[in-house]
Structure 1
Amino acid sequence: MSNVEVEIEYCVPCGFLDRALAVERAILNGLEGELDKVSLVMGSHGVFRVTVDGEAVYDKDEDDYDVDDIVRAVRASL
């Protein structure tokens, strides 16, 4: 089995923690058995990005925020 790592980087000053926790919970609920690590990374400057093994699958600057879409993007990259 490969070591699949998901990172959720979120802007602390923007108050995106709740959003990051919602995405983390949804990813774990749907894909827990297929992942090795899900981590929250504190950032700034408006960042909200989800990566799988270093490859961005969601970036708020490019994509609309939708938890289900983010989970689908993570699943598609596995």
Structure 2
Amino acid sequence: MNRIEIDYCTQCRWLLRASWMAQELLTTFADELDEVALKPGRGGVFAIHLNGERLSDRAADGGFPDLPLLKQAIRDRIAPDRDLGHSDARRAPGA
């Protein structure tokens, strides 16, 4: 079972950003994801986990995740042979 959890800060009003990312991930990985959960938090949190593994943390990474890179990280873990089309054109340096 593949589960994405997006922790977002309600004080910062990041629900819209979190829900947009959830929509993008559900659209891209419609057949691979079983669940995408939005988890309200406080204190500036914005973190994304896949099956308990942290993929992104705004505070630790110095900003919000770049969506194509996030999609690549998810794809690499749950569907490594999958082509992401235009999202693959922006591969991280050294990847």
Unaligned runs of 5+ in 1: none
Report the counterpart of residue 36 of structure 2 in structure 1: 38
After TM superposition, give the deviation of residue 5 of structure 1 in Å. 0.7
Return the structure number with greater relative CO, CA threshold 8 A, min gap 6.
1
Normalised by the length of structure 2, the TM-score is 0.73
Larger relative strand fraction = 1
Q: Does 1:9 align with 2:7?
A: yes
RMSD of aligned Cα (Å) = 1.3
Unaligned runs of 5+ in 2: 79-95
Report the counterpart of residue 24 of structure 1 in structure 2: 22
How many angstroms apart in 1 are the aligned matches of 2:62 and 2:28?
21
How many angstroms apart in 2 are the aligned matches of 1:30 and 1:74?
10
Normalised by the length of structure 1, the TM-score is 0.87
Aligned residues: 76
- Between structure 1 and structure 2, the one with the greater Rg is 2
